Amino acid sequence: MNIIPGIGNIADEVKGDFTDIESAADGMFHVGEDGVLRILTPRDRKVEFICFEDKTLTWVKSAMGYPALYPLHDMIYEQPAEAVLMDLDGTSVHSEEFWVWVIQATTARLLTNPRFELEEDDLPHVSGHSVGEHLQYCINKYCPGAPLEHARTHYYEITHHELREISEGRGRSDAFTPAPGLKEFLLELKGRGVRIGLVTSGLYEKAWPEIISAFRTMKLGDPLEFYDAIITAGSAIRKGQAGTLGELEPKPHPWLYAETAKVGLGMDFARRNRVLGFEDSAAGVVSLRLAGFAAVGVDGGNIRQSGVRPLLYRQVPALTDAIPTVFGE
């Protein structure tokens, strides 16, 4: 099976990113049964692609206990773009190192070991997904049996303290910085009438300070006036506060990108061929593709090590390198 529906013919340079497996979706599908011709999984094994002659289904795993099955649509992009969907952490704002450090500090508290450090192979599992997914991964690996809610409590205590320190000028000055070329890229899109949606799996309380900090640095004014839509994973659910279900439907699920395009930007699914998404994480790439959009990978994240390059329309070193791709020049 050389041509895979939804993926196409995998280029030689990225064939090693996918591994063939015999069964998927917790044993619901098996190669050679019920029309299944092949099952593939990327290096991080976060998703599984069940390939038939005429379609590919994607099994999205969940550390929270709520996996899901989605069709993988063919990637069709027609230049120029009418709308661009942009990830926040890593793609628009360099903050991933800070948030990984918060996950590490949270795990250290659970272990009562202030010297605890994450390992290199933990990185694909503690970035790009929801806070709950990140924390559950660390619990499973480093402190089995620890309650997730205890981890959440530590996480938000650390987060609130660090954000307050940053806002008052005492915290890490390098926590949130605009990605190289972000200002030029955004102004080019805006100047040519491209609608722009900003999308993050992060909760509002952690995402908004990043956005504000970046826009102050770039001197671009109010981000609510600049972007045509901003979608976050909602608000944390804690005692005495209302929240959302953003912890169960973040990237790599398609819903954040789908909602930004359809509800935020008014782009019907039939017009998805005129939408281009930008991501630096594997979870984000899968999310874009499951929502039906072409994905451009931006260097610097975990796309290469996670093994999702076969899903990309293109890979670029920086945002400004993608301007010809956006406009067909």
**Which of 28-32, 82-86, 166-170 shows the lowest per-residue confidence on average (mean pLDDT)?**
166-170
**Residues 200-230 pLDDT 10s:** 988 888 888 889 889 989 999 999 999 999 9
In a domain, 193, yes or no: yes
Domain that holds residue 47: 3-71
Q: Tens of pLDDT along 183-192? A: 999 999 999 9
- Considering the domain architecture, whether residues 269 and 206 belong to the same structural domain is answered as yes
Predicted pLDDT at 27: 96
My answer on whether 263 and 321 are in the same domain is yes
- Residue 78 maps to a domain: no
pLDDT at residue number 127: 82
CA pair distance 237, 270, nearest whole angstrom: 35
Instruction: Give the residue-averaged pLDDT of 138-144.
Output: 96
Q: Are residues 258 and 315 in the same domain?
A: yes
Q: How many other β-carbons are positioned within 10 Å of the β-carbon of residue 221?
A: 10
Question: Residues 157, 185: one domain?
Answer: no
- Look at residue 173 and tell me whether its pLDDT is greater than 70: no
Digit-coded pLDDT (tens) for 239-270: 787 877 777 888 999 999 999 999 999 999 99
Residues 139 and 237 in one domain: no
Two tokens, residue 136: 């559950």
Last residue of a domain, one of 167, 186, 211: 167
What is the average pLDDT across 121-137? 87
Q: Which of 167, 190, 223 corresponds to the end of one domain?
A: 167
Give the residue with greater pLDDT, 317 vs 125: 317
Q: Are residues 214 and 272 in the same domain?
A: yes
Among residues 167, 186, 202, the one where a domain terminates is 167
- Distance from first CA to last CA of the chain, Å, rounded? 34
Query: How high does pLDDT run on average in the chain?
Result: 93
Whether residue 87 is found in the same domain as residue 123: no
DSSP letters of 143-159? STT--HHHHHHHHHHHH
What average pLDDT score do residues 34-44 get? 97
Q: Tell me, what's the pLDDT at 167?
A: 72
Asked if 199 and 85 count as a contact pair (C-beta separation under 8 A), the reply is yes
Predicted confidence at residue 235, as pLDDT, reads: 85
Domain membership of residue 220 (yes or no) is yes
Tell whether 160 and 186 lie within a shared domain. no
Domain co-membership, 276 together with 198: yes
Would residue 109 count as lying in a domain? yes
Residue 77 lies in a domain: no
Let me know whether 232 and 283 are in one domain. yes
Tell the residue number behind the tokens 């990984």, with chain if given.
100
**Count of domains forming the chain:** 3
318: CATH: 3.40.50.1000
In this structure, the answer to whether residues 231 and 311 fall within a common structural domain is: yes
Q: Is the pLDDT of residue 329 over 90?
A: no
In a domain, 172, yes or no: no
Predicted local confidence at residue 85, as pLDDT: 98
Please indicate, yes or no, if residue 310 is contained in any of the structural domains: yes
Whether residues 185 and 129 share a domain: the answer is: no
